[in-house]
Amino acid sequence: MLHTLTAFDKATKIQPAAKTVTGQYLSKNHLDARGRAKLAADLLDGRAILGPLTAKQIIALCRTKPAHVTAARDPGRRKRLRQLRLQRAWEAVDPDHRAEFCRAVGIENVWRVLAAAIA
pLDDT in tens, 10-65: 555 556 667 899 999 988 999 999 999 999 999 999 999 998 999 999 999 999 99
- Asked if 19 contacts 47 with a C-beta cutoff of 8 angstroms, the reply is yes
As a whole number, the mean pLDDT across the chain is: 87
Helix, strand or coil, per DSSP, at residue 8: helix
Q: What is the pLDDT of residue 3?
A: 57
Q: Looking at residues 88-114, what average pLDDT do you find?
A: 93
What residue segments make up the domains of the chain, in order of their start?
13-73, 76-119
Give Cα 50 distance to the centre of its chain. 18
Which stretch of 63-67, 71-75, 80-84 has the lowest confidence by average pLDDT?
Answer: 71-75
